[in-house]
A and B are shown apart, each in its own frame.
Chain A
């Protein structure tokens, strides 16, 4: 793989996501708004909130990341950029990898960095906050990676943004189970292997997804 084209695509995607109208601010605001709404609904039982925190924050992070995923390839498809990118020296697999990395750097990573603050609002103890942050750091790449497959598959579907979550959310169940499970383990004073399972799941998803996403994009470009 040649580095200059890969890095140029990554840099462009990050630039587009962080400019006005980009997806970074939107994802962060959505994440924070959801995490603020849940306590309003659940009430001020701190013990209950602390137990629900990991699950709520994980689900909020997944949904916030999904918000911008349907545009991952579609924005470039609609204005013709995807044809130009497909004809570049980069293979579509590398293109998918660059886009997944760009999406994670502009959503998964900022969400992870914001999560300690929200964890504090839920009354999580410091050691649980640390595990929550680590679990998001490990798990959110899988959200971007598996989401890219959905983005590739729904590329030519109008309103694909509505179908994408239906395709991707079931695939993300393991990430939510192990991610939130790791935090509950800390609250219960148990050591469980949830973080290791999460890491294994995320690793497999991140490594294999670019191939599946590229195949889906290739199919849709030809259609």
Chain B
């Protein structure tokens, strides 16, 4: 999947690598010397009990949180982004918070993020994909939790980023919404992107599974 690197050139995403990563939260070691690699076109399903450090790992990969030790790098055929700022610019983020502003409509929210991320994706298409066309001009305060999740999925799709980090992508979604997650995740995979999803339920997509906590 194409990635714009620092000089503005297009490069091809190759892999994401995590090397001997250690996370400590409030003097408790969540995981130690965690190493793995995800190739372009792969989906990694991150599993494990509550408090195993799934969200922490995702925030560290995104560069929002600094690890106690270890390195994380996102490599293309042209360069390797290993500092947090550079990594963050390749990340598509779907957190467990929906990021919906109650005063803004879904259309306004997507238009804002498209400009913030400087992408040229089609907003109407993203709304239609997420099944939000009918409520596109309704302030988000009237949206249900599932609809806000759909809005977050539309935003993710619109971000145009190569490495998707999803924290509980299936929560509060109905059967159709879950199918939507499976669809856009497998489309992203086929396009050569990377998806890492922390989840308690199967994504419904061909994926590599990794369990945090317990033995780790």
Q: Is B100 an interface residue (CB 8 A)?
A: yes
Main secondary structure of the interface of A (DSSP, over half): helix
What are 18 contact pairs spanning A and B, CB under 8 A? A2-B118, A5-B117, A8-B115, A9-B116, A12-B104, A16-B104, A21-B103, A80-B95, A80-B98, A80-B99, A83-B99, A86-B64, A87-B63, A88-B117, A89-B89, A89-B116, A222-B65, A222-B66
Q: Is A84 an interface residue (CB 8 A)?
A: yes
CB <8 Å contact, A84 and B103:
no
Question: How many positions in chain B have a CB within 8 Å of any CB in the partner chain?
Answer: 27
Q: Is B101 an interface residue (CB 8 A)?
A: yes
Main secondary structure of the interface of B (DSSP, over half): loop
Which 7 residue pairs across A and B have the least CB separation, nearest first? Answer: A80-B97, A8-B115, A80-B99, A81-B99, A19-B103, A87-B88, A222-B65
Known: A21-B103, A87-B64; 12 extra A-B contacts, CB below 8 A, are A4-B118, A12-B104, A16-B101, A16-B103, A78-B97, A83-B62, A83-B93, A83-B99, A86-B88, A87-B93, A89-B116, A90-B116
Question: How many positions in chain A have a CB within 8 Å of any CB in the partner chain?
Answer: 29
Q: Is A156 an interface residue (CB 8 A)?
A: no
Q: Report which A residues bind B (CB closer than 8 A).
A: 2, 4-5, 7-9, 11-12, 15-16, 19-22, 78-81, 83-91, 221-222
**Bound CA–CA A83/B159 (angstroms):** 14
A221 touches which of B65, B97, B101 (Cβ 8 Å): B65
Q: Is B112 an interface residue (CB 8 A)?
A: yes
Q: Report which B residues bind A (CB closer than 8 A).
A: 62-66, 85, 88-89, 91, 93, 95-101, 103-104, 108, 112-113, 115-118, 155
Known interface pairs A89-B89, A222-B64. Does A83 touch B95 (Cβ–Cβ under 8 Å)? yes
Closest chain-B Cβ to A61's Cβ sits at a distance in Å of 26
Closest chain-A Cβ to B95's Cβ sits at a distance in Å of 5
**Bound CA–CA A8/B116 (angstroms):** 6
**Bound CA–CA A15/B102 (angstroms):** 12
B101 contact set on A, CB distance < 8 A: 16, 79, 81
A87 contact set on B, CB distance < 8 A: 62-64, 88-89, 91, 93
Closest chain-A Cβ to B112's Cβ sits at a distance in Å of 5
B64 contact set on A, CB distance < 8 A: 83, 86-87, 221-222
